[in-house]
Amino acid sequence: MDYDLFEPGDIQLQNGATLRDAKLAYKTYGELNADKSNAIVYPTWYSGQHYDNEWLIGEGMALDPSRYFIVIPNMFGNGLSSSPSNTPPPHDGPRFPNVTMYDNVRVQHRLITERFGIERLELVTGWSMGAGQTYQWALSYPETVRRILPFCGSAKTSIHNIVFLEGVKAALTADAGWNNGWYREQPGVGLRAMARVYAGWGFCQQFYREKMYEREPLGYGSLEDFLVGFWEGLFVKRDANNLLAMLWTWQNADIGKTPGFGAVEEALAAIRAPAIVMPAQQDLYFPPEDNEWEVAHMATAELRTIPGSWGHFAGGGLNPVDTKFIDNALKELLARGV
């Protein structure tokens, strides 16, 4: 395997359950310097693994491995870290415990401190659920995190976002083969139905109206070709219980539930790390107005919207124009003195 494992043992989770013999998969890029001052954490997103984050790392980019030591921790539930698909009984499959963003970040913090001896992070950044973890890092470890740039994500999952995910979940679990999570083989009908539901949300109306899926860099031959090749292709290779476990994490994301805080407003106000918060202009489930509300409650944050018609996937690394926009903002933020 081309990644490493951090094994912190049994983890007491935020909801009181225990994740036994926990394993956190991670990959590093670049070298940690002598005074351990060049580290960046870049968490993964819904269903994504560290491979799927690599588009934002490269020579001459903000996340340049010749300058920075970049750590990509894989979220619990994504199939590499402890997940329903790789956890032994009795906590396998649908019996896998519920894991929060707070739980993920707490173990990630143990990784960087216990394995690498890192006390300060130059930056935490991430897309979608990775953005949610970015907010959590800044709140939970204010003395560690110097800067944050969450993009296409939020500090608390909105009610509308929860409803969208209910549709995704219903499509997957309606497959009789799902069998309440005790399937013998992946529920393919449900996974493909889930992909079709997701297809209406991941990109925006303009994207479909202008048939941008037929243009470069995607270049699909038709709408059906795109729905099958891109959307079904994204989800049929995933494990259904893993997807449901991460969906629970997403629906229940709320930094206001961090121990010591009573509400999301209070938690946002406590974040002191300089931040550029970057929504996508036509994101259908993390809309800019939600981030605008968050930034209004943060002391040192700036809202900078990614323009264009790629919706949520403006942050997915598929469109070079959006990638450059995000990369430029990261370069600017890293160049600021803190």
Active site residues: 128, 283, 312
3-state secondary structure of 60: coil
- Asked whether 215 and 222 are in contact (CB, 8 A), the reply is no
Which residue carries 């992946």 as its tokens?
Answer: 186
CA distance 252 to 168: 15
CA distance 127 to 275: 14
CA distance 326 to 127: 10
Q: Residue 50 has what DSSP assignment?
A: G
CA distance 25 to 42: 13
Instruction: Tell me the DSSP string of 281-328.
Output: TT-SSS-HHHHHHHHHT-SSEEE-PBPSS-GGGGGTT--HHHHHHHHH
CA distance 224 to 230: 10
What separation in angstroms does the CA of 84 have from each of 22, 105, 145, 165, 240? 12, 19, 31, 19, 9
In this structure, which amino acid lies at residue 31?
E
Cis peptide before 279 (omega within 30 of 0): no
